[in-house]
Chains A and B, each alone.
Chain A
Amino acid sequence: MSSTTLSAAASANAARRGNALGRRLLIAAAWLAFAVFLLLPLYVVLSEALKLGFGTFFEALLEPDALSALKLTLLAVGISVPLNLVFGLAAAWCVSKYEFLGKSLLVTLIDLPFSVSPVIAGLIYVLLFGAQGVFGEWLTEHDIQIVFALPGIVLATIFVTLPFVARELIPLMQEQGTQEEEAARLLGANGWQMFWHVTLPNIKWGLIYGVVLCTARAMGEFGAVSVVSGHIRGFTNTLPLHVEILYNEYNHVAAFSVASLLLVLALIILLLKQWSEARLSRLKSNAAEE
């Protein structure tokens, strides 16, 4: 009896010793994968951008076409993210607070844009609003331009980033349930007061997390925007499209300079994400302790 316990302990020890070596190997492999797949591309963007020094780097960033691309990108993000934020709140509210027929179908449909190619996201708006599209004739008659203009870019951006906020909020709000809201109502709060003072503080960090992800994708969207933009330099070029044009003109230093601006924005987004995620998990562990 005791001998079997002993041998079991010995084999567990041996396993642990084997684990120490395996552990080091695995950590080394993870570092290697990280360096090759994530750090190298980062390094290349910066080194290519600064190849000819800071002068050409800033020149590429301050050029009028680059600035107008930056403005258009910010405008598209500024319109599409708030719209998807409101949608995310509404969708998460009805999915998490009520039971109704077809709820799981609705959740699946909200996720649909994630499984559609961005190029198809652009294509469908061209089919609707393009010159030969369903509404093409009517739009031309009324002199409204959607495709190859800002509205098209915004529509395509909204499509590809639609699920982000809803997706973050739905599980969070489902977990939180409806008790606190019910208490607020019973204490005489109206719907708006309940939302503002009870729901919003509870979901704040999840909401910020969703908005950060949504902003990242909206800022960098390429395929969908590329289809509907028409690539008119200085007018319908977003920053990622500007990078493409410069690259295809073999103006690599300028392309990587603009790319490094996007890279810095991406790193800021990662920091914001990390921060909101930390707050969110602290909130969750507090809730678990209670």
Chain B
Amino acid sequence: MSRRISPVIPGFGLTLGYTLVYLSLLVLIPLGAMFVHASQLSWAEFWAVISAPRVLAALKLSFGTALAAALLNGVIGILLAWVLVRYTFPGRKLIDAMIDLPFALPTAVAGIALTALYAPAGPVGQLAGEFGLKIAYTPLGIALALTFVTLPFVVRTLQPVLADIPREVEEAAACLGASPWQTFRHVLLPALLPAWLTGFALAFARGIGEYGSVIFIAGNMPGKTEILPLLIMVKLDQYDYTGATSIGVLMLVVSFALLLPLNLLQRRIATP
């Protein structure tokens, strides 16, 4: 699609200028300032901060739980998107509307609600306790909180794509003798993969940085259930700006290193 540059529509200079100034002042310069601040440290100082066992444990925990939550959402998301797009059943509209609740609900509210649910004395926590399973104040609780907060991403990216796949494609596959599972595996999954990856990456990125919903359920034991964003907070409370900045830079660099290949892969699959 090629669109002509429209000389009759005014406002190019104004809108582009405003966009660039606003974006630079509020996002680019402040973020850049953090990298400048970090670059004043020597490599040894930076390394001393990020190689501390407490930081490495938090790094592993944050990325691990975000990955687990994104994967769980990858499964629940396909299920919900499929059912909402393909079937009509009582409550469909309600579920469809409520899927976005985690985006509308303040994360702190989600945090204390999930803690009340999954704590040893809470209704679900008690049930799990009878099976010897501890949810709140463990990495499992963190992953569940992240699953809640990032639940809408995969569903919402899959829904429009699923709606666009004609049913005839599946019927053709069934007529050719494919089982429902084969149809799903060989016909639908390849068509859904780019959107699924987008939703997965969004959920993963959000999960890495999430703070509000996690800190209540995590228990925040250093080295065990302490996430990276919390560690930045701890360093800030101790006026350790060097430490906070180093961890911030580490977090951004690692997330982009993980998300960039994911985006490239998604683009490659989307444009055959």
Cα distance A241–B113 when bound, in Å? 15
Residues on A with beta carbons closer than 8 Å to the beta carbon of B123: 40, 44
| Chain A, residue nearest B14 (CB) | A90
Q: Which residue of B lies closest to A119 (CB)?
A: B229
In the complex, chain B residues whose CB is within 8 Å of the CB of A16: 174
Query: A87 to chain B: which residues have CB within 8 Å?
Result: 18-19, 22-23
Provide the residues of chain A in CB contact with B248, threshold 8 Å.
Answer: 117, 119-120, 123-124
CA distance A112 to B19 in the complex (A): 14
Interface string of B171-212 (1 = CB under 8 A from A): 100111101100000000000000000000010011011111
* In the assembled complex, A186 has its CB within 8 A of some CB on chain B: yes
Question: Is B5 at the interface (CB under 8 A from chain A)?
Answer: yes
Cα distance A86–B12 in the bound complex, in angstroms = 15
Is A240 within 8 A of B109, CB to CB?
yes
Out of A48, A98, A117, A132, name the residue touching B229 (CB < 8 Å): A117
Please provide the chain A residues from 254 to 287 with a CB less than 8 Å away from any CB of chain B in the complex: 255-256, 259, 262-263, 266-267, 269-270, 273-274
Closest Cβ of chain A to B233, distance in Å, is: 6
A158 CB–B CB distance under 8 Å: yes
User: Which one of B15, B83, B151 lies within 8 Å of A94 (CB-CB)?
Assistant: B15
Most buried by A among B30, B110, B233: B30
Which A76-91 residues have a C-beta within 8 angstroms of B? 86-87, 89-91
Q: B34, A222: Cβ atoms under 8 Å?
A: no
> In the complex, A185 Cα to B6 Cα: how many Å?
11
Q: Tell me the dominant secondary structure on chain A's binding face.
A: helix
Asked if A48 and B116 sit within 8 Å, CB to CB, the answer is yes
- The interface size of chain A toward B, counting residues with CB under 8 Å, comes to 99
Contact A222 B105 (CB under 8 A): no
Say yes or no: A123 contacts B104, CB within 8 Å.
Answer: no
A8-B20 Cα distance, complex, nearest whole Å: 60
Question: Is B232 part of the binding interface, using a Cβ–Cβ cutoff of 8 Å?
Answer: yes
- Is there an interface contact between B106 and A98, defined as CB atoms closer than 8 Å? no
B151 is contacted by which of A37, A178, A243 (Cβ under 8 Å)? Answer: A37
A138 to chain B, nearest CB (A): 15
Question: Is the beta-carbon distance between A41 and B117 smaller than 8 angstroms?
Answer: yes
Question: Which chain B residues have a beta carbon within 8 Å of chain A's beta carbons?
Answer: 3, 5-6, 8-12, 14-16, 18-20, 22-23, 26-28, 30-31, 33-34, 37, 76, 79-80, 82-84, 87, 89, 91, 95, 97-110, 112-114, 116-117, 122-124, 147-148, 151, 171, 174-177, 179-180, 202, 205-206, 208-212, 216, 228-230, 232-233, 236, 239, 241, 244-245, 248, 251-252, 255-256, 259
- Chain A to chain B: the 7 pairs with minimum beta-carbon distance, closest first: A220-B106, A117-B209, A222-B212, A223-B211, A191-B10, A119-B229, A266-B104
